[in-house]
Amino acid sequence: MNEHLQTMDQIKSTLIDLGLKFGPKVLVAIVIMVAGVFVGRWLGGLVEQMLARFELEPPVQQLLVRVVRVLVLGLFAIMALQNLGVELLPLIAGIGVAGAGIALAMQGVLSNVVAGLTIIFTKPFRVGEYISIVSEEGQVEAIRLFSTVLSHADRSRIVIPNRKIVGEILHNYGTLRQVDVLVGVAYDTDLNHALAVIDEVLKANPRVLKDPAPVIAVSTLADSSVNVAVKPWVHVDDFGPAGGEINKAILEAFRGRNIVIPFPQREVRMLA
């Protein structure tokens, strides 16, 4: 019983000695880290206000703000460790070895990050533009460090790893798309009249843009019809419904003006 009490007294005295020796240093280290958090937030907000003047992409602003906050917090962490008397050189060496191992294990993730930074700074496309790449297409919804998110016309979302984008052939439509409608008229049709009717239809459609001007031209002389290419420009969001509306309006206008849209015909002659 006496030995047990003596052991407890020794543990208690040891804890008191450690508290008196390291307690103030730990308290100061905690104060330093708390100050680092507040200073990092303050500098991050200041940098964010400064970057707002340069009209950078949101991912770039977020990245730079986070880098500033991490650097400030890292600096205060070094100050806290020095206050505790920690040797920094062995610690840095250990972190370097661990970092090399982590980098080898996360090559795919790191390649996505590097590709994301390449996309963010080279700006091959921006949020809101319509792109086509790696057999996928859609409107750019978000550009992140690891992936790019596209929204599709069927309301689905496409998430593409950034490493699959960099180095591939990219088709950037921007914020406008050109509708491609093909209309056939009979060979005896007054083409000037037919083209004028199509022009009236396009001008009556609120989705069709006046600038750039629509393209209306004879495309091909087919077997049974003269094909007219109708290619108006619309906003990306209007691309889906615009084609159907234009086809319907042209058909109704042709019927009202007695312009014939011929169907394919074959003439077969029987020789006796």
Domain 176-256 has CATH 3.30.70.100: yes
Say whether pLDDT at 20 is over 60.
no
Q: Are 253 and 191 in contact (CB under 8 A)?
A: no
CATH level 2 (architecture), domain 124-174? Roll (2.30)
Average pLDDT over residues 130-142: 88
Predicted confidence (pLDDT) per residue in 225-265, tens digit? 899 999 999 998 888 899 999 999 999 999 998 888 887 77
- Buried (b) or exposed (e) across 235-257, using 16+ Cβ within 10 A? ebebbeebbebbbebbeebbeee
Q: Sorting pLDDT into bands at 50, 70 and 90, what band is 65?
A: confident
Q: pTM score, two decimals?
A: 0.62
Tokens of 207: 């989705």
DSSP letters for 245-270: HHHHHHHHHHHHTT---PPP------
Which class is 2-105 in CATH?
A: mainly alpha
Which of 225, 242, 114, 260 is CA-nearest to residue 180? 242
DSSP letters for 177-226: EE--EEEEE-TTS-HHHHHHHHHHHHHH-TTS-SSSPPEEEEEEE-SS-E
CA distance 272 to 258: 39
CA distance 155 to 172: 20
Domain edges within the chain: 2-105, 124-174, 176-256
